[in-house]
């Protein structure tokens, strides 16, 4: 079997259900990055997601894009909130990527109240990116986020501006929090109604690293590495119609994820998922007002 595709919201692009998380390239040599990109292409992924803040990722993509720009849907992100800063960062990303246009520019982790207000101001990043779209520098505009306040902030953003895509944490472990599960499914319902693409992250996160762990870290969380467990967690996400899954920044796990998705994406058994959580000692990456990296809507520190 091949990696399945589906419409990426209302963009007109038939995107692979797996999106290549090009943060994996951020610390690689160009030689290793080239090999990784080739394997991603061979697996059938046609949507690459990077960001200005992902180390050297944009630069590592540039040689590939110089020959294969039309072969992929190309997304990057800006973490700037003022219009001038977002425009400058977008132009710098275009230069680093070696392209005249990206398919999708995303407001990176727009979940803090004060940053949200700044981005939506008249001279903020949202207006600047809309202008860049009008000028042909980008085709579509999205918004991403982390933390437990992310779904409700995305709903707020969608009610303020017609974003083309969202990106949100979505995993079996996170969805064991009833409030989070309700919020994220409200977001999914709204996106489906409006034809907004839904990208997900953190499906194979086991827990946060502990201070005394000395293993090499290729992502900021400890990933699941046992294939059978990983398969259930990946299929938990992709068995939901309309969802896309961005691959982990730990490139050592890419081949396993490719194999899992090629083998099918039927929904896993809930009892097996619950056993996995217990046996693997999984923990949610984000706990409201404890390990969130955001501020709640009241503006008080979380």
Each of the 302 residues of the chain gets a pLDDT tens digit; together they read 789 999 999 999 999 999 999 999 998 999 999 999 999 999 999 999 999 999 899 999 999 999 999 999 999 999 999 999 999 999 999 999 999 999 999 999 999 999 999 999 999 999 999 999 999 999 999 999 999 999 999 999 999 999 999 999 999 999 999 999 999 999 999 999 999 999 999 998 888 777 776 667 667 777 888 999 999 999 999 999 999 999 988 888 999 999 999 999 999 999 999 999 999 989 888 888 888 865 444 433 32
What is the structure's pLDDT at 291? 82
Residue 67 belongs to domain with CATH number: 3.20.20.100
What is the structure's pLDDT at 221? 73
With respect to residue 302, please indicate whether it lies within any of the assigned structural domains.
no
Residue closest to 129 by CA, chosen among 165, 74, 85, 98: 85
With respect to residue 165, please indicate whether it lies within any of the assigned structural domains.
yes
Side-chain half-sphere exposure of 209, counting CA atoms within 13 A:
12
With respect to residue 71, please indicate whether it lies within any of the assigned structural domains.
yes
Helix/strand/coil percentages in the chain, nearest 5 = 45, 20, 40
What is the structure's pLDDT at 127? 98
With respect to residue 222, please indicate whether it lies within any of the assigned structural domains.
no
What is the structure's pLDDT at 297? 46
Strands 138-144 and 197-201: unpaired
Alpha carbon distances (Å) from 168 to 109, 110, 137, 237, 281: 9, 11, 25, 12, 23
DSSP secondary structure of 231-272: HHHHHHHHTSTTEEEEPPS-GGGHHHHHHHHHT--PPPPHHH
With respect to residue 72, please indicate whether it lies within any of the assigned structural domains.
yes
Rounded (10°) CA dihedral 150, 253, 17, 23: 50
Structural domain total, the chain:
1
pLDDT in tens, 47-58: 999 999 998 999
What is the distance between the alpha carbons of residues 214 and 89, in angstroms, rounded to a whole number?
35
* pTM, entire model: 0.93
With respect to residue 285, please indicate whether it lies within any of the assigned structural domains.
no
Give the domain extent around 99.
5-202+236-248
With respect to residue 24, please indicate whether it lies within any of the assigned structural domains.
yes
Residue 203 CA to its chain's centroid (Å): 11
With respect to residue 270, please indicate whether it lies within any of the assigned structural domains.
no
């Amino acid at each position: 079997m091949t990696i399945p595709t589906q419409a990426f919201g209302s963009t007109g692009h038939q995107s692979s259900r797996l999106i290549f998380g090009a943060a994996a390239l951020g610390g690689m040599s160009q030689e290793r990055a080239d090999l990784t990109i080739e394997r991603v292409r061979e697996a059938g992924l046609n949507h690459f997601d990077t960001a200005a803040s992902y180390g050297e990722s944009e630069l590592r993509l540039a040689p590939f894009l110089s020959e294969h720009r039309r072969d992929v849907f190309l997304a990057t992100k800006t973490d700037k909130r003022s219009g001038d800063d977002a425009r400058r960062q977008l132009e710098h990303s275009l230069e680093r990527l070696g392209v005249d246009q990206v398919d999708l520019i995303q407001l990176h982790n727009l979940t803090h109240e004060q940053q949200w207000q700044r981005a939506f101001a008249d001279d903020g990043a949202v207006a600047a990116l809309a202008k860049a779209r009008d000028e042909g520098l980008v085709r579509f505009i999205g918004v991403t986020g982390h933390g437990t306040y992310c779904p409700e902030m995305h709903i707020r953003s969608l009610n303020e501006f017609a974003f083309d895509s969202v990106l949100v944490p979505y995993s079996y472990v996170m969805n064991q929090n009833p409030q989070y599960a309700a919020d994220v499914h409200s977001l999914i319902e709204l996106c489906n109604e409006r034809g907004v693409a839904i990208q997900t992250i953190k499906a194979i996160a086991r827990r946060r690293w502990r201070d005394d762990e000395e293993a090499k870290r290729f992502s900021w969380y400890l990933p699941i590495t046992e294939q059978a467990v990983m398969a259930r967690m990946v299929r938990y996400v992709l068995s939901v119609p309309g969802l896309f899954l961005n691959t982990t920044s730990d490139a050592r796990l890419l081949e396993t994820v490719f194999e899992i998705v090629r083998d099918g994406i039927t929904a896993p058994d809930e009892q097996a998922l619950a056993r996995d959580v217990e046996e693997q000692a999984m923990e949610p990456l984000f706990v409201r007002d404890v390990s969130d990296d955001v501020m709640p809507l009241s503006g008080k520190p979380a």
